[in-house]
Amino acid sequence: MKVTLCKLTVISESLLREEIAELILRLGATGYTMTRVEGRGSRGRRASDFEGRNVKFEVIVSEETADAILEEVAERYFEDFAVIAWLTSAEVLRGNKFVKSSSALPSGEATGKPGPESEV
Amino acid sequence: MKVTLCKLTVISESLLREEIAELILRLGATGYTMTRVEGRGSRGRRASDFEGRNVKFEVIVSEETADAILEEVAERYFEDFAVIAWLTSAEVLRGNKFVKSSSALPSGEATGKPGPESEV
Amino acid sequence: MKVTLCKLTVISESLLREEIAELILRLGATGYTMTRVEGRGSRGRRASDFEGRNVKFEVIVSEETADAILEEVAERYFEDFAVIAWLTSAEVLRGNKFVKSSSALPSGEATGKPGPESEV
Amino acid sequence: MDLLLQNLVSPIVLAFLLGALARWVKSDLEIPDAIYQGISIYLLFAIGLKGGIAMAETPLDALVLPVGATILLGVITPITAFFLLKSFARLDRINASAAAAHYGSVSAVTFVAAIDAAKSAGLPAEGFMPALVAVLEVPGIIVALLFARQSRGGGIKAALHELVVGKSIFLLLGGLAIGALCGPTKMESVTPFFIDPFKGVLCLFLLELGMVAAKRVRDVREAGWRLIVSGCLLPLFHGLLGTLVGHLVGLSPGGAAVLGAMVGSASYIAAPAAVRMALPKASPGIYLTLSLGITFPFNLGVGIPVFLAISKTLESVLP
Amino acid sequence: MDLLLQNLVSPIVLAFLLGALARWVKSDLEIPDAIYQGISIYLLFAIGLKGGIAMAETPLDALVLPVGATILLGVITPITAFFLLKSFARLDRINASAAAAHYGSVSAVTFVAAIDAAKSAGLPAEGFMPALVAVLEVPGIIVALLFARQSRGGGIKAALHELVVGKSIFLLLGGLAIGALCGPTKMESVTPFFIDPFKGVLCLFLLELGMVAAKRVRDVREAGWRLIVSGCLLPLFHGLLGTLVGHLVGLSPGGAAVLGAMVGSASYIAAPAAVRMALPKASPGIYLTLSLGITFPFNLGVGIPVFLAISKTLESVLP
Amino acid sequence: MDLLLQNLVSPIVLAFLLGALARWVKSDLEIPDAIYQGISIYLLFAIGLKGGIAMAETPLDALVLPVGATILLGVITPITAFFLLKSFARLDRINASAAAAHYGSVSAVTFVAAIDAAKSAGLPAEGFMPALVAVLEVPGIIVALLFARQSRGGGIKAALHELVVGKSIFLLLGGLAIGALCGPTKMESVTPFFIDPFKGVLCLFLLELGMVAAKRVRDVREAGWRLIVSGCLLPLFHGLLGTLVGHLVGLSPGGAAVLGAMVGSASYIAAPAAVRMALPKASPGIYLTLSLGITFPFNLGVGIPVFLAISKTLESVLP
Ligand SMILES: Nc1ncnc2c1ncn2[C@@H]1O[C@H](COP(=O)(O)O)[C@@H](O)[C@H]1O
Ligand SMILES: Nc1ncnc2c1ncn2[C@@H]1O[C@H](COP(=O)(O)O)[C@@H](O)[C@H]1O
Ligand SMILES: Nc1ncnc2c1ncn2[C@@H]1O[C@H](COP(=O)(O)O)[C@@H](O)[C@H]1O
Ligand code: NA
Ligand code: NA
Ligand code: NA
């Protein structure tokens, strides 16, 4: 029973690692996967070229949660920090694993029969 | 000539690295890319916090192969191990590179003209 | 205001790291994110098993730029080197961040209201 | 008491505490994964090499009794651990046998700390002790897994393979073999790397270990007093047993105390991996908390000096 | 002059130049991230340990004056730096205070290079100097941030936390504590790892530092002459001040010159992280270029030998 | 024969075998990438430094003949290799020239193992040998690429750049320069890091090399006997040539044998990268198998002791 959820990717200078991890969990994600990456972007350099790497967060979440995280990340970091983010859709088994018990999967997704548009 | 295939992502505690790599190739993938990642999830901790990292497998495969791998991964590991997986679609050049010679690409994909729904 | 762009992924033996980074920026990407990964593929081994790792580039770009990069990568490397690449779509905020000032976002995307096909 | 304090104020113990402190004050200190793994390869290989050099100078028959006794202890300890954990700590069969596997095996760092403490106390241990570490690593885990009465896929056989070719035992045995084959003269050229800086490298390792152990403190609080008491009683009991047996098979007082520390210790590298593969349903939260969160610091701070003191006393008592 | 050349032809300075050369010829030489981090943990911890061992042998009251003077210097230097950078280098308030924070703090590698140069010049510094490094790291950054009159989120309080539990100060203080608690005898066993190879490891670190600094050269060119001059004047002025104060509080000539180098140096590990968090609007392109691209090489090549020469002269002049 | 066995039972050779064993028993032992790279930076830099210190004490004209002879050998060996591989091993032009490039260059580890074996055999080599390694690295690769009559993009020029600023040659030359400029006295402070632990670090490196080489064993089996025989004949022939020339240009018996081992060795770090860029159509499966799977272990086990024995004999034969 595959359901379609969102995959949110956030790339950030590594100094913000703890803050962003906390933000992601606080806004309702059930987990995240973090990778140490290197990057080149418009800002070119990071606070400490030593710390060297950026970090990449990948989070499987419902669309609302993704939007909420994306919004807060944008608001708090986009202006002053080397942070970018994007969304893609992703199909998972066990959709409920990725939704905190308090909230519920939107019906379309829970049935595993998303409309044509949201399907990948 | 782009064709649409699947990208399967599997994240697992690193102890299972060899097993999952073997599983992926056995079920018909022509290769995989593995990244060492860190993670937070519902299970919280892994067998050996020392081994530290999780691993992430990314596999470009046909949809059937993706489903087959996903199913076996789910069956063998989802209950007891820190393993998650998801699917997205991906467009590649040289679609045949990712399909084992024995099987063949479904016609829609081989022509490089997938229907609107399967296009990203 | 989310707009839909492309995410291009290129995986390459690490020897080509500099060349491919240069190629990506030259063809118009505003940045890239690079991860050190390991891989198994049809070619099996790399020039120097010591250098060990492959590298993975992830680039958020407009579709045209993505196609241009993909084409040049394919032409220059696919035959002789351990290089693969794929495209997915990705939704971003601040679409203009990922388009070089000289070019402009295609109207459909700039309005944030992409047609059904380009939506994920 | 003096021995206890003497033991606590050592670079090794203090580095462990510093690591724990780093977690508590939320420092961003972090030993990169690769460095941690590099250090652990170094330590295990170096322990092996050092033991091998000593073995090259030990007549083989001097090893027979200690090795036999060590195997015996490796079979006994998981049994006592299993029953204590099941009855007193009230763990279910799976979790009790998973944790018992850890007590049946041995912690290399506890071993090294004991060697060091013995030397500082003027009771140097036999040089061949690392060979006993290698011997002690395996049987306990096997015995404990038998208690589980179930295990995944390849099960015990797979776990056994996992163990024997697992990097810790492989490096230990490999080091032993190279050291024994080359002997002291040929090893001289690698001594400045593998022997002289050893204890300093160990300090860095304990910094990391302190950080990892500190993460378990919350789990320890949740664990309940029965688990905590078990995590202290087991090393004490096993340690005294090991020390006594060490004397009986003719080890020096230092050697006997070190054997005690080994037997009393719980593995947190080899065993967790093997147990995770064989008994995935057992909770790492329980066995890691016991071995790394309770028993390891207990031995480092209390166990080792106690075994040394007892061993000294035994020497004057036993014939 | 001879001292200058003498200083330039040393493994440390040449390793730095080799690293810079690697970037200029576009070599693919690259120190892996994990190694770089491992080395910096090693260096900071080792500096601390060494200082701690010395402190164990220093009567506490011998520390009072030097520590007090160091704090004072840590408060003064960000102020002079701020005003010079604002008026002469024409930086705006935010960027001037961000850069001032770096001059208020201290570069551990400059410190070590100074210790080494002092020893080579036959003017060994006091053993407790690392304690002064730890003392000097913090106040300057705080003072400088006050000038900014704005700061993000938790602001100065968050930056202070960032600093004090940040890995560089944490390791330095931790090493000092362990060294002081254990004293020279107990530390003997870790000396072959933390003390003997120290300078060699430092060479590798400077190789990397050279590569990082070389990346800044383009920025230096763009920076304009006012910034470049500031990046040389500030360490010179602060360094002379530090050397003089060192003499006044009774340090040996070597110790006074090392204090000068410390005070004259600009941090590029602790400060950038703290400043980035507190003043994200300040441009790293400015403060990193100043501290790492200009002031660090200036001190390494010119500052240290000058402070040593001055200190020698002062000795014969002052009563 | 005794020399052969004597040579095989050394920490270095045994560590290589242990690494290979790790692969064969499918151990999960794994040296992290970053550690492997860190070690190789250390080794190359240390080799350079050591050679540089020796050069500081060598009159320049003592270098002229050996350097000239080394360049000559670097030009000859890829030619013999190319023709043998093309005619006898039946490789096509591209693959033959790709493999020839490896035989024209030199393996740093073989060099170090030879230095060490020479010392153990009581025939220490000249201290300036590392300078010859740097000299030997480049010409052979260029000559071999000329045979290919084709090459990608920038072609030979790009490959040459790749080589000269490639990290192995860069570190070697950089180390040589620093060592020669500073001389023995100033280098004393870095000796405890770069010289004393060198051979121990080399052991760890060979552990990894054993693992990598073992992966090639399947390829070796598939390679066919002609390739295997070539992989043994070439080092033997080149090695004897090198040893002889070494005597003729006045090297000590140990130095001549080490030159033999260098000339007989095949590169597996610098050459593969350069060849991959210049001749992407050549199969790494062939050139890596030859250099790392066959020739490297051959030299380690057989070549080096043979060259030493021959060199000893030559000494009594030649005037
Ligand atoms: N177009 C892009 N595609 C992929 N990653 C990017 C792109 N632009 C920036 N990044 C990543 O985001 C980080 C910050 O970018 P910036 O804020 O533009 O300096 C960079 O270091 C990259 O890792
Ligand atoms: N919502 C999520 N998004 C991304 N990765 C996740 C998520 N949940 C879990 N993971 C990853 O999967 C691993 C195992 O998760 P779990 O089984 O929930 O403990 C974690 O360590 C993460 O790397
Ligand atoms: N089917 C696949 N899925 C994901 N990654 C792949 C796949 N095939 C190859 N790769 C990656 O591309 C690299 C080169 O592959 P190849 O050119 O097939 O040897 C491999 O090392 C992998 O990292
Ligand atoms: Na035990
Ligand atoms: Na300062
Ligand atoms: Na050669």
The string of DSSP letters for chain B reads --EEEEEEEEEEEGGGHHHHHHHHHHTT-S-EEEEEEEEE-TT---S-TTT--EEEEEEEE-HHHHHHHHHHHHHHHTTTSSEEEEEEEEEESSGGGGS-TTS---HHHHTT---TTT--
Å from CA of E186 to ligand 4 middle: 28
Can you tell me the distance from the alpha carbon of E55 to that of E60, in angstroms, rounded to the nearest whole number? 8
**Spatial CA neighbour of D277 closest among D172, D145, D183:** D145
Query: What is the tens place of the pLDDT at every residue in A16-30?
Result: 998 999 999 999 999
Complex confidence, ipTM: 0.92
* Number of domains comprising chain F: 1
Task: Please indicate, yes or no, if residue E309 is contained in any of the structural domains.
Answer: yes
Q: What is the pLDDT of residues A30-77, one digit of tens each?
A: 999 999 999 988 776 544 445 568 999 999 999 999 999 999 999 999
Which residue shows structure tokens 């079979």? D75
Query: Which has the higher per-residue pLDDT, D306 or A110?
Result: D306
Contacts of E24 in chain F (CB under 8 A): none
pLDDT of residue F117: 93
CB-closest option in C21, C30, C116 to A42: C30
Token duo for residue E219: 């920025």
Identity of the residue in E40, E215, E273 whose CB atom sits nearest the CB atom of A47? E273
Residues with CB under 6 A from ligand 1: A 11, 39-43, 54, 82, 84; C 29-33, 58-60, 98
Q: Match 């046998």 to its residue by tokens.
A: D97
> Do B84 and A97 make contact, defined as CB atoms within 8 angstroms?
yes
Considering only the beta carbons, identify the residue of C40, C41, C88 that sits closest to B120. Answer: C88
Q: Which chains touch B (3 or more CB pairs under 8 A)?
A: A, C, D
Q: Which of A14, A17, A22, A48 to mutate to test the interface with E (most CBs of E within 10 A)?
A: A48
User: Chain C residues with CB inside 8 Å of F281's CB?
Assistant: 80
Question: Once rounded to an integer, what is the mean pLDDT over residues D58-83?
Answer: 94
Q: What's the 3-state SS for D175-204? A: HHHHHHHHHHHHHHHHHHHHCCCHHHHHHH
Question: Distance (Å, rounded) from C-alpha B87 to C-alpha C112?
Answer: 25
CB distance D277 to D149 below 8 Å: no
Q: How far, in Å, is the centroid of ligand 2 from the Cα of A31? A: 5
- Average pLDDT, stretch E205-218? 89
Q: How many CA atoms lie within 13 Å of E209's alpha carbon, on the beta-carbon side? A: 28
Which chain D positions have a beta carbon within 8 Å of F198's beta carbon? 193
Residue A74's identity, in one-letter code, is: A
DSSP for residue B88: E
SS3 A18: helix
Q: Do chains F and A touch (3 or more CB pairs under 8 A)?
A: no
Distance D56 CA to ligand 5 centre (A): 55
- To the nearest whole number, what is the mean pLDDT of chain E? 91
The chain A residue lying nearest E285, using CA atoms, is: A45
Q: Is residue F224 part of a domain?
A: yes
- H-helix or E-strand spanning residue F138: none
Mean pLDDT score, E66-84: 96
The C-alpha of D37 sits at a distance from chain F's nearest C-alpha, in angstroms, of 7
Chain centroid offset of residue E318 CA: 27
How does residue D37 score in pLDDT terms, banded at 50, 70 and 90? Answer: very high
Residues having C-beta closer than 5 Å to ion ligand 4: D 106
Q: Is residue E136 part of a domain?
A: yes
Chain D residues within an 8 Å CB radius of B81: 280
What the block records as the tokens of E153 is 């989120």
Is residue E144 situated within a structural domain? yes
Residues 6+ positions from F77 with CB-CB distance below 8 Å? F103, F104, F140, F238, F241, F263
pLDDT tier, B120 (very low <50, low <70, confident <90, very high otherwise): very low
Atom number of ligand 3 nearest to Cα C43: 19
Residue F145: inside a domain: yes
Report the SS3 class of residue B84: strand
Check if the beta carbon of residue F225 is closer than 8 Å to that of residue F250: no
To test ligand 3's pocket by mutation, which of C11, C17, C48, C83 has the most ligand atoms within 8 angstroms of CB? C11
**Which other chains touch chain A, taking contact as 3+ CB pairs less than 8 Å apart?**
B, C, E
Cβ–Cβ of E212/A49 closer than 8 Å? yes
pLDDT for residue F316: 86
- On average, the pLDDT of chain C sits at 80
What is the torsional sign of CA B53, B59, B64, B65? negative
**Which ligand sits nearest to residue B21's alpha carbon?**
3
Cβ contact F279:F293 at 8 Å:
no
Higher per-residue confidence, E211 vs D163: E211
The contacts of residue B91 (CB under 8 Å, 6+ apart) are: B2, B3, B4, B5, B120, C86, C87, C88
Backbone angles phi, psi at C14, to 5 degrees: -70, -20
B41 shares contact with chain A (CB less than 8 Å) = yes
CATH number of domain containing E266? 1.20.1530.20
At C85, give phi and psi (nearest 5°): -155, 150
Question: What's the gap in Å between A6 CA and the centre of ligand 1?
Answer: 21
> C59 pairs with which residues across the strands?
C8
Tokens of E113: 């290079």
Q: How confident is the model at residue B52 (pLDDT cuts 50, 70, 90)?
A: low
pLDDT at B41: 87
User: Considering chain D, what is the average pLDDT of its residues?
Assistant: 91
Is the CB of residue E286 less than 8 Å from the CB of residue E160? no
Q: Which chains touch F (3 or more CB pairs under 8 A)?
A: C, D, E
> Is the Cβ pair F212, C50 closer than 8 Å?
yes
How high is the pLDDT of residue F274?
A: 85
Cβ–ligand 3 distance for B59 under 6 Å, the answer yes
Instruction: Determine the distance from the C-alpha atom of residue F120 to the mean position of all C-alpha atoms in its chain, rounded to a whole number.
Output: 19
pLDDT tens profile E221-249: 777 899 999 999 999 999 999 999 999 99
Report yes or no: E263 and E129 within 8 Å, Cβ to Cβ: no
| pLDDT value of position B101 | 66
Is pLDDT above 70 for C33? yes
- Cα D21 to ligand 4 centre (Å): 27
What radius of gyration do chain B's Cα atoms show? Answer: 15
Q: Whats the size of chain E, residue-wise? A: 319
Touching, C vs F (3+ Cβ pairs under 8 A): yes
Buried b (16+ CB within 10 A) or exposed e, B103-114: eebeeebeeeeb
Give the pLDDT band of residue D219 (cuts 50, 70, 90).
confident
Q: With a cut of 80, say whether residue E318 has pLDDT above it.
A: no
Containing C39, the helix (H) or strand (E) segment is strand C32-40
Three-class secondary structure of residue D283 per DSSP: coil
pLDDT score of E316: 86
Tokens at C9, concatenated: 């992924």
Would you state the pLDDT for residue C98? 86
Average pLDDT, integer, range D139-159: 76
**For testing contact with chain C, the best of F33, F94, F206 (most C CBs within 10 A):** F33
Please tell me which residue, A75 or D218, carries the higher pLDDT value: A75
Tokens describing residue E317? 């002049």
Domain annotation covers residue E319: no
Whether the CA torsion D279, D282, D286, D288 is positive or negative: it is: positive
| Residue nearest ligand 2's atom 5 by CA | A32
Please name the residue whose Cα sits nearest to atom 23 of ligand 1.
A39
Please list every residue in chain E whose beta carbon sits closer than 8 Å to the beta carbon of residue F190. Answer: 11, 199-200, 203
Inter-chain touch E269–A48, beta carbons under 8 Å: yes
Provide the token pair at D261. Answer: 């520390």
With a 6 Å cutoff on the Cβ, whether B77 touches ligand 3 is no
Place of tokens 């500096």: E47
F85: domain range? 2-314
CATH of B1-42+51-92, one of 3.20.20.80, 3.40.50.280, 3.10.20.340, 3.30.70.120: 3.30.70.120
Is residue A31 lining ligand 2, measured as CB closer than 6 Å? yes
Q: In angstroms, rounded to a whole number, what is the distance separating the alpha carbons of residues D134 and D138?
A: 8
**pLDDT higher at D96 or C102:** D96
User: What is the reported pLDDT for A120?
Assistant: 29
Q: Are D70 and D132 in contact (CB under 8 A)?
A: yes
Q: What is the mean pLDDT of chain B?
A: 80
Indicate whether B118 pLDDT > 70. no
Spatial distance between the Cα atoms of C19 and C29, rounded to a whole number of angstroms: 14
Q: Report the alpha-carbon distance of residue D136 to residue D72 in Å, rounded.
A: 9
pTM check: above 0.90: yes
Examine the pLDDT at E273 and tell me if it is beyond 90.
no
CA angle C9, C10, C12 (to 5 degrees): 150
Q: What is the pLDDT of residue C107?
A: 38
Q: What DSSP state is assigned to residue A7?
A: E
* Predicted pLDDT at E280: 87
Q: Calculate what percentage of chain D has a pLDDT beyond 70.
A: 97
Q: Is residue F319 part of a domain?
A: no
Report which listed range, D239-248, E207-216, F161-170, is most confident.
D239-248
| Tokens encoding D143 | 């015995």
- Start-to-end C-alpha separation, chain B: 15
Enumerate the domain spans of chain A.
1-42+51-92
Higher pLDDT, D152 or B11: B11
pLDDT higher than 50, residue C48: no
Residue D134 has pLDDT above 50, yes or no: yes
For residue B99, the 8-state DSSP code is S
Does the pLDDT value for residue C111 go beyond 70?
no
pLDDT of residue E125: 96
Residues E145 and E154: beta-carbon distance below 8 Å: no
Looking at residue C103, what is its pLDDT?
47
- Residue at D319 is within a domain: no
What average pLDDT score do residues D297-310 get? 95
Per-position pLDDT tens, chain F of length 319: 566 777 788 999 999 999 999 999 999 899 998 999 999 999 999 999 999 999 999 998 999 999 999 999 999 999 999 999 999 999 999 999 999 999 999 999 999 999 999 998 999 999 999 999 988 988 888 888 888 776 665 666 777 777 788 888 899 999 999 999 999 999 999 999 999 999 999 999 999 999 988 888 877 777 789 999 999 999 999 999 999 999 999 999 999 999 999 999 999 878 888 888 888 889 888 999 999 999 999 999 999 999 999 999 998 887 6
Q: Using N-to-C axis directions, what is the helix angle for D155-164 and D270-278, rounded to 10°? A: 160
- Scan for tokens 């179930």, then name that residue: D150
